[in-house]
């Protein structure tokens, strides 16, 4: 199987299926990386089990679909999923950055925003789930943005009727640069708006081709990373806040995206829009599908 990518403790492979000459759609298979620390392997396996359980209940065009959950020859469990595309949004961001192409076109960002918001609306409103780890590497893209799907629901948390994570045993994991302040401080309720903050930062990624708050000095291609280039104090102080934009790189076509990004990254969760409202506004624009 061709390796597509990797995550914390797991690898993802492309499995082509053509039994008896019949062409079948390929699967993306997530498998525990047996080279990872043995002490952590059970945690990763438990997370994969939970992801399979949740994914099996989901069915939406903007969420990667469940296909199978089976045991590999080495005894570990494998999660087979719909093949959403060869590359994640993060892969495309890195490619564009390497080629010095500048921000994605505004129309492309709006399309990604709408399809991601549709997926989040389904998770929040229909399935009462907080995704819990929205970021560019958890969005898979097929072709020239022909399909846009959210993946990796392994750290999802249940939401109550008030769109709040009320289970005292539930723990928000996320990924540090995309975490909103309420998940960092731990003294406030976690709601569906935690996903909205991370969604806003994903739009920021497409405008800046950068990782939120990870500000390294410009380096020559031949230079190596120097820890002195990373201001750890500034990084931790910035977590949970809205990162700045270089407005010189963004013309008037980005105005709606900038407004949406600003609303989604409000520090107060209650001031951020719900996914359903984002969908309504973007669909009302009529220029994206």
User: Could you list the active site residues?
Assistant: 133
Neighbouring CB atoms inside 10 A of 78's CB total 20
DSSP class of 127: S
Rg of the chain in Å (alpha carbons): 19
Closest CA to 200 of 134, 102, 270, 115: 134
Task: Tell me the two tokens of residue 266.
Answer: 């409000």
Residue with tokens 């679909």: 65
Count Cβ atoms below 10 Å from residue 233 Cβ, excluding itself: 7
Instruction: Give the whole-angstrom CA distance, residue 161 versus residue 153.
Output: 20
Cα dihedral value 58, 261, 110, 145, nearest 10: -60
First to last CA, the chain: 34
**Pairing status of strand 10-17 against strand 24-32:** antiparallel
Buried/exposed code over 112-149 (b: 16+ C-beta within 10 A; e: otherwise):
bbbbbbbbbbbbbbebebbbbbbbbbbbbbeeebeebb
What's phi and psi for 247, nearest 5 deg? -65, -20
């Amino acid at each position: 199987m061709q390796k597509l990518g990797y995550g914390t403790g797991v690898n993802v492979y492309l499995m082509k299926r053509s039994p008896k000459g019949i062409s079948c759609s390929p699967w993306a298979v997530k498998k525990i990386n047996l080279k990872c620390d043995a002490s952590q392997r059970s945690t990763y396996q438990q997370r994969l089990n939970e992801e399979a359980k949740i994914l099996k209940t989901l069915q939406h065009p903007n969420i990667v679909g469940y296909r199978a959950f089976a045991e590999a020859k080495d005894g570990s469990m494998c999660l087979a999923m719909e093949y959403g595309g060869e590359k994640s949004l993060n892969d495309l961001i890195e490619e564009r950055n390497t080629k010095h192409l500048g921000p994605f076109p505004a129309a492309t960002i709006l399309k990604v925003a709408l399809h991601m918001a549709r997926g989040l609306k389904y998770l929040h409103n229909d399935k009462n789930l907080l995704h819990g780890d929205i970021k560019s590497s958890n969005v898979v893209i097929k072709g020239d943005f022909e399909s846009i799907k959210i993946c990796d629901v392994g750290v999802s948390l249940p939401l109550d009727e008030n769109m709040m994570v009320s289970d005292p045993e539930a723990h928000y994991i996320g990924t540090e640069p995309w975490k909103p302040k309420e998940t960092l401080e731990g003294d406030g309720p976690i709601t569906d708006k935690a996903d909205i903050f991370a969604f806003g930062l994903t739009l920021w990624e497409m405008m800046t081709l950068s990782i939120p708050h990870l500000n390294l000095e410009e380096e020559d291609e031949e230079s190596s990373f120097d820890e002195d280039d990373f201001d750890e104090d500034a990084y931790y102080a910035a977590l949970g806040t809205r990162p700045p934009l270089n407005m010189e790189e963004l013309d008037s076509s980005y105005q709606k995206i900038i407004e949406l990004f600003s609303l989604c990254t409000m520090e107060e969760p209650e001031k951020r829009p719900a996914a359903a409202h984002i969908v309504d506004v973007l669909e009302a624009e009529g220029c994206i599908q």
